[in-house]
């Protein structure tokens, strides 16, 4: 379980650990001085900042999927994101995205979150999976991963470089 992009990692996603992390995950202090107009508007800024933060949990383990009924009752969860890659490794088929056990867990998470009124995040990445992700009811659709985009760009640059230096001595 992960809370936020710069957030916390839990113990695999028990409702208790998620509840503890969510309760401590909301900011309570004062952030950048400029954003608060150099302390002139700090009360307004702190309220806005605290009200603007969303709490996203990422479920990456089948055991958390099995506890989803308890997890969705944790107050202040705004979004649930399914970590399909890590979850696939816990279903006897790392990167086997057709594994029925994996999809049973994913559907359970998505259906339970929808029923609880919690927004759900992408399950499948990549432009080839946009429609399938939307069909699953996800409101957050991830179009790809930074590491893949970096690899593709680096491979392209290296190919161009090799073509240019080919035949040079």
More confident residue, 44 or 154: 154
The distance between the two most distant Cα atoms of the chain, rounded to a whole number of Å, is 67
Integer Cα distance of 10 and 93 in angstroms = 23
For residue 128, pLDDT beyond 60: yes
Is residue 109 a part of any domain in this protein? yes
pLDDT (average), residues 138-147: 88
What was the pLDDT predicted at 137?
92
pLDDT in tens, 29-86: 445 667 777 777 777 877 787 778 788 899 988 888 899 999 999 988 999 999 888 8
More confident residue, 23 or 11: 23
Residue 1 binned pLDDT confidence (cut-offs 50, 70, 90): very low
| Tally of domains within the chain | 1
Residue range of the domain that includes 129: 2-144
Is residue 167 a part of any domain in this protein? no
Is residue 139 a part of any domain in this protein? yes
Is residue 46 a part of any domain in this protein? yes
Q: What is the mean pLDDT of the chain?
A: 81
What was the pLDDT predicted at 29?
46
**What does pTM read for this prediction?**
0.69
Question: By the 8 A CB rule, do 11 and 66 touch?
Answer: no
For residue 169, pLDDT beyond 50: yes
- Whole-number Cα distances in Å, 87 to 94, 95, 101, 111: 8, 9, 10, 17
Is residue 153 a part of any domain in this protein? no
Is residue 133 a part of any domain in this protein? yes
Q: Which of these ranges, 6-20, 103-117, 132-146, has the smallest mean pLDDT?
A: 6-20
Question: By the 8 A CB rule, do 141 and 133 touch?
Answer: yes
Is residue 164 a part of any domain in this protein? no
Is residue 122 a part of any domain in this protein? yes
In 3D space, the residue among 64, 61, 75, 81 whose CA is nearest the CA of residue 25 turns out to be 75
What was the pLDDT predicted at 74?
92
Q: What is the CATH number of the domain that holds 140?
A: 3.20.20.60
């Amino acid at each position: 379980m992960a809370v936020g992009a710069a957030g916390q990692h839990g113990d695999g996603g028990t409702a208790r650990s998620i509840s503890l992390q969510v309760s401590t995950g909301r900011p309570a202090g004062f952030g950048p001085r400029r954003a608060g107009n150099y302390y002139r508007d700090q009360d307004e800024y702190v309220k806005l900042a605290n009200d603007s933060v969303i709490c996203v949990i990422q479920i990456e383990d089948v055991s958390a999927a099995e506890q989803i009924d308890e997890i969705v009752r944790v107050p202040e969860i705004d979004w649930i994101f399914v970590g399909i890659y890590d979850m696939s490794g816990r279903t006897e088929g790392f990167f086997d995205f057709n594994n029925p056990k994996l999809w049973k867990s994913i559907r359970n998470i998505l259906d339970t979150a929808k029923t609880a009124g919690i927004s759900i995040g992408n399950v499948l990445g990549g432009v080839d999976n946009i429609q399938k992700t939307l069909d699953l009811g996800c409101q957050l659709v991830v179009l790809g991963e930074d590491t893949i985009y970096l690899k593709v760009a680096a491979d392209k640059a290296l190919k161009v470089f090799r073509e240019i230096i080919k035949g040079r001595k």
